[in-house]
Amino acid sequence: MKERVTLTLDSDVIKRVDSTVDGFNVKNRSHAVELLVLKALGDNVPKKAVILAGGKGTRLRPITYEIPKALIPVHGKTLTEHLFDLFKNYEIKDVTMAVGHMKDKIRDYFNDGSKFGLRIKYIEENEPLGTAGPIKLGKKLFKESFIVSNGDELKDINIEEMYRFHKENNALATIALTTVDDPSKYGVARLSGSRILEFVEKPKKEKAPSNLISSGFYIIEPEVIELIPDGFAMFEKDVFPKLAEMGRLYGYPFSGQWFDTGNIIRYEKALKEWKDLV
């Protein structure tokens, strides 16, 4: 519920506030003031993020025979550190890593996160738990909106804008959607407005409902955790379809960089084309 307030501000301050109004992301002066207050209070983005780093990286062999995906180098730092850069750009300092394959190597490298300017906790998988299973395992850690990101992708997303979109739509989960030229190799989003109805898996290019695919980056409300089955569970198959039926699954298209490093060819492309965030 919103309440009306009256503010007395210096005219120069008002001009600076008004300069942020674009009629789209910032609708009017009142909206601009609200966004600035939320940012000052630290409520403009989720405070916690999860990185899914438990996979074996079989499509990246022989690299991953000795190195876990989380530690694969890109431009002199690990894949994971590029995600850290994204989070730190939005003052997100609490990161949980879901680890399984070669988990000791990952923990030894990142430790408590202090050398990266973060606070890192770990959810340890003794057996593969999929993309959603680790979240259920660590449910006590998540009491407010939080981010979940795949660990094998490089991405540049306006998290503040995405979070605002998430809240304005009263979503239980919002998926960051990126555009691809050929969607036939992916699960493709079918939308009604901004609401996701379903993902169509690997459609023929001419029959694809859109060119928008999941970037493997989500904002999720803690209530969603109760919908995750125990044990091995996938957001894509076990959770998101339920949210779509409820009308509470939304897609946030973004135009920033996105590189999937899941196989050797895509990894090489990322090495050549990714532009570091910091």
Same domain, 146 and 183: yes
Domain that holds residue 25: 11-40
Instruction: Give the pLDDT score at 78.
Output: 93
Report residue 56's pLDDT band, with 50, 70 and 90 as the boundaries.
low
Q: Cβ–Cβ contacts within 10 Å for residue 263, how many? A: 15
φ and ψ at 253, to 5 degrees? -70, 135
Same domain, 82 and 23: no
Asked if the structure places residue 109 within a domain, the reply is yes
Average pLDDT over residues 57-76: 77
Report residue 58's pLDDT band, with 50, 70 and 90 as the boundaries.
low
Instruction: Give the pLDDT score at 100.
Output: 84
Instruction: Give the pLDDT score at 202.
Output: 78
Report residue 52's pLDDT band, with 50, 70 and 90 as the boundaries.
very high
Asked if the structure places residue 19 within a domain, the reply is yes
Does residue 166 surpass a pLDDT of 70? yes
Asked if the structure places residue 278 within a domain, the reply is no
Instruction: Give the DSSP letter of residue 263.
Output: S
Which are the contacts of 234, defined by CB distance < 8 A and separation ≥ 6? 130, 131, 132
Residue 89: which CATH number? 3.90.550.10
For residue range 229-276, what is the model confidence (pLDDT) as tens digits? Answer: 999 999 988 999 999 999 999 999 998 899 988 788 888 898 999 999
Asked if the structure places residue 4 within a domain, the reply is no
Report CA torsion sign: 238, 244, 247, 248: positive
Report residue 222's pLDDT band, with 50, 70 and 90 as the boundaries.
very high
Catalytic-residue membership of 15: no
Asked if the structure places residue 2 within a domain, the reply is no
Which are the contacts of 167, defined by CB distance < 8 A and separation ≥ 6? 145
Report the alpha-carbon distance of residue 106 to residue 109 in Å, rounded: 5
Does residue 30 surpass a pLDDT of 60? no
Instruction: Give the pLDDT score at 34.
Output: 52
Average pLDDT over residues 21-42: 55
Instruction: Give the pLDDT score at 183.
Output: 81
Asked if the structure places residue 1 within a domain, the reply is no
Same domain, 124 and 148: yes
For residue range 147-160, what is the model confidence (pLDDT) as tens digits? Answer: 999 988 999 999 99
**Residues 52 and 135: beta-carbon distance below 8 Å:** no
Please tell me the total count of domains within the chain: 2
Same domain, 133 and 226: yes
Same domain, 103 and 185: yes
Q: Which of 15, 39, 143, 202 is catalytic?
A: 202
Asked if the structure places residue 216 within a domain, the reply is yes
Same domain, 84 and 210: yes
Same domain, 120 and 251: yes
Does residue 164 surpass a pLDDT of 90? yes
Same domain, 100 and 29: no
Instruction: Give the pLDDT score at 21.
Output: 60
Average pLDDT over residues 65-94: 90
Same domain, 29 and 65: no
Same domain, 119 and 22: no
Q: Mean pLDDT check: name the lowest of 104-108, 179-183, 256-260.
A: 179-183
pLDDT, mean over the chain = 85
Q: Mean pLDDT check: name the lowest of 33-37, 169-173, 193-197.
A: 33-37
Q: Using DSSP bridges, classify how beta strands 173-179 and 249-253 pair: parallel, antiparallel or unpaired.
A: parallel
Asked if the structure places residue 6 within a domain, the reply is no
Average pLDDT over residues 161-185: 91
Instruction: Give the pLDDT score at 60.
Output: 62
Instruction: Give the pLDDT score at 26.
Output: 62
| Residue 153 token pair | 């992708």
User: How far is the first Cα of the chain from the last one, in angstroms, to the nearest whole number?
Assistant: 38
Same domain, 73 and 22: no
Instruction: Give the pLDDT score at 18.
Output: 65
Query: 19 or 196: whose pLDDT is higher?
Result: 196
Instruction: Give the DSSP letter of residue 104.
Output: H
Instruction: Give the pLDDT score at 68.
Output: 83
Does residue 177 surpass a pLDDT of 80? yes
Measured CA distances, 7 to 35, 39, 151, 160 (Å):
15, 18, 44, 25
Q: Using DSSP bridges, classify how beta strands 94-99 and 187-192 pair: parallel, antiparallel or unpaired.
A: unpaired
Find, among 86, 148, 61, the residue nearest to 274 by Cα: 86
Same domain, 198 and 217: yes
